[in-house]
Amino acid sequence: ILYKNCILQIQNYVLVGALPLTFSVINEFYLFMAAQGVF
Strands (E), the chain: none
Write b or e for each residue in 1-39: b if 16 or more Cβ atoms lie within 10 A of its Cβ, otherwise e. Answer: eeeeeeeeeeeeeeeeeeeeeeeeeeeeeeeeeeeeeee
Whether residue 1 is predicted with pLDDT greater than 80 in this model: the reply is no
Whether residue 35 is predicted with pLDDT greater than 70 in this model: the reply is yes
Q: Give the pLDDT confidence score for residue 29 in this predicted structure.
A: 92
Q: Give the pLDDT confidence score for residue 2 in this predicted structure.
A: 79
- The mean pLDDT value for 23-34 works out to 90
13-25 tens-digit pLDDT: 888 888 888 889 9
Report the alpha-carbon distance of residue 10 to residue 12 in Å, rounded.
5
Q: Percent of the chain at pLDDT above 90?
A: 18
